[in-house]
């Protein structure tokens, strides 16, 4: 049976852990062995004793990286790659298209690697979809953070001193994060307007009580795996004009737009910012990939023209207990899908394996990555 090592996350502003005691116990009951780096779960409120009580072995960092399987959240650092055994299998987020240096190092080390962010977003893979589970929490927290920075409340309030109007919230994007943000803002009593260039999201937005900012679509809109891959400049111009009308009266604006492997699209240029009213709050959920707002800064709250721009780069990590629980369940389901009787199946006819396997014994599997690999680095 495979030995799974769970290291402590070393990335800045990270408080999650890839394995909770509950999930570790379930894997151990199926015959797997689980090792945890000492205090890896501490920031998620899971003590070493919590893990030891369910049969997890607490080890030093060096021993964790000698495990057959390394299960972690963020891409490994250069030093962490060097600690891995040459026949190890890594399971983590890799963002391979924008993280080619680490992919090269893993290849040189002859590591096999599955990328959690590359799991196909299909109904079969829903229970393994780390991006969705974390985006769900992020959408919720974006509204809470925005509300904390606002100088007013969300709901309408009728008092003897007068009536307070409900806050107006504008949300860019009706993906997993956007839909959760809509639901949260509506529960808090806000008026919610939503912009998405995919017309098929209108029904979902309305089902949650949001109002869809509608622009007549055109044949240029192309989507793939739930992401927009192409759209005409003319349509984008119409979309921005329609959204600007709502944004200039908004109390809270939340942006969620991401493009896999690329810089986040610019949705709020400084010209739009200048039209917005003082006191408005923007939560830029794409700040870690360049930002949807031109003036947002990673892990900072900045004020420009009286507008607060919140650039929290890792929103799920601000909810580490729930985020770790969901992540661990995703990873457990993924490991169980990939294995049979405690060993990897390496079934390339399986769409989940074929989509998420980045490296096999150091060999690049995905065609879209082969041009990014530096042969001289691998063979040196």
CATH fold match for the domains 3-128+320-379 and 150-313: yes
Whether 145 has a pLDDT exceeding 70, the answer reads yes
Domain range summary for the chain, segments of one domain joined by + = 3-128+320-379, 150-313
Residue 198 bears catalytic tag: no
Q: What confidence tier does 380 reach under pLDDT thresholds 50, 70, 90?
A: very low
Residue 227 bears catalytic tag: yes
- Coil/strand/helix, residue 224: strand
What does the pLDDT look like over 173-204, one tens digit per residue? 999 999 999 999 999 999 999 999 888 899 99
Question: How crowded is residue 380: how many other Cβ atoms within 10 Å of its Cβ?
Answer: 7
What is the Cα–Cα distance from 3 to 224, expressed in whole angstroms?
36
Q: How much is the average pLDDT of 22-45?
A: 98
Whether 374 has a pLDDT exceeding 90, the answer reads no
Q: How much is the average pLDDT of 254-279?
A: 92
Structure tokens at 36: 């945890």
Whether 228 has a pLDDT exceeding 80, the answer reads no
What does the pLDDT look like over 341-370, one tens digit per residue? 999 999 999 999 999 999 999 999 999 898
Class of the CATH-defined domain 3-128+320-379: alpha beta
What is the model's pLDDT at position 378?
47
Whether 239 has a pLDDT exceeding 50, the answer reads yes
Of all residues in the chain, what percent carry a pLDDT higher than 70?
93
- Coil/strand/helix, residue 350: coil
pTM equals 0.91
Q: For all residues of the chain together, what is the average pLDDT?
A: 93
State the sign of the Cα–Cα–Cα–Cα dihedral 211, 310, 10, 110. positive
Catalytic residue among 10, 47, 77, 126: 126
Q: What confidence tier does 225 reach under pLDDT thresholds 50, 70, 90?
A: low
Cα-based distances in Å from 25 to 281, 324, 340: 43, 15, 18
Catalytic residue among 65, 112, 115, 129: 129
What is the Cα–Cα distance from 171 to 333, expressed in whole angstroms?
32
- Coil/strand/helix, residue 150: coil
Catalytic residue among 109, 132, 180, 296: 132
What is the model's pLDDT at position 241?
84
**Residue 258: φ, ψ to 5°:** -135, 150
What is the model's pLDDT at position 261?
78
**Residue 35: φ, ψ to 5°:** -115, 145
Catalytic residue among 38, 117, 227, 372: 227
What does the pLDDT look like over 64-107, one tens digit per residue? 999 999 999 999 999 999 999 999 999 999 999 999 999 999 99
Whether 221 has a pLDDT exceeding 60, the answer reads no
Catalytic residue among 117, 121, 187, 350: 121
Whether 226 has a pLDDT exceeding 70, the answer reads no
Mean pLDDT is lowest, of 164-178, 223-237, 318-332, for 223-237
Residue 121 bears catalytic tag: yes
Contact 228, 195 (CB under 8 A): no
Q: What would be the CATH architecture of the domain defined by 150-313?
A: 3-Layer(aba) Sandwich (3.40)
Question: How crowded is residue 272: how many other Cβ atoms within 10 Å of its Cβ?
Answer: 18
């Amino acid at each position: 049976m495979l030995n799974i090592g769970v290291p402590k996350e070393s990335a800045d502003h990270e408080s999650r852990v890839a394995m909770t005691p509950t999930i570790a116990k379930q894997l151990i009951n199926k015959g797997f062995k689980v090792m945890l780096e000492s205090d890896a779960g501490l920031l998620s409120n899971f003590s070493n004793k919590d893990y030891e009580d369910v049969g997890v072995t607490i080890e030093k960092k060096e021993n964790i990286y000698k495990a057959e399987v390394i299960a972690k959240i963020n891409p490994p650092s250069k030093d962490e790659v060097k600690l891995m055994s040459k026949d190890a299998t890594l399971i983590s987020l890799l963002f391979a298209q924008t993280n080619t240096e680490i992919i090269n190092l893993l290849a040189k080390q002859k590591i096999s690697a599955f990328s959690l962010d590359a799991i196909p977003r299909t109904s079969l893979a829903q229970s393994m979809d780390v991006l969705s589970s974390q985006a769900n929490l992020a959408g919720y927290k974006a509204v809470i953070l925005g509300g904390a920075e606002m100088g007013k409340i969300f709901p309408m309030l009728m008092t003897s001193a007068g009536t307070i109007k409900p806050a107006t919230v504008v949300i860019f994007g009706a993906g997993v994060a956007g839909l959760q943000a809509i639901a949260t803002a509506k529960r808090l009593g806000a008026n919610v307007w939503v912009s998405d260039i995919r017309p098929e999201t209108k029904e979902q937005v309305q089902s949650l009580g949001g109002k869809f900012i509608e622009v007549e679509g055109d044949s240029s809109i192309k989507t793939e795996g739930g992401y927009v891959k192409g759209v005409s400049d003319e349509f984008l111009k119409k979309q921005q004009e329609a959204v600007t009308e709502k944004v200039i009266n908004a109390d809270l604006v939340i942006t969620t737009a991401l493009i896999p492997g690329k810089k986040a699209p610019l949705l709020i240029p400084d010209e739009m910012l200048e039209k917005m009213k003082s006191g408005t709050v923007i939560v830029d959920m794409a700040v870690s990939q360049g930002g949807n707002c031109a003036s947002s800064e990673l892990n900072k709250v900045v004020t420009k023209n009286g507008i607060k721009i919140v650039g929290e780069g890792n929103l799920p990590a601000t909810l580490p207990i729930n985020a770790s629980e969901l992540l661990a369940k995703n990873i457990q389901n993924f490991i169980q899908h990939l294995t049979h009787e405690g060993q990897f199946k390496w079934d390339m006819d399986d769409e989940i394996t074929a989509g998420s396997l980045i490296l096999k014994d150091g060999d690049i599997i995905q065609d879209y990555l082969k041009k990014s690999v530096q042969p001289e680095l691998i063979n040196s």
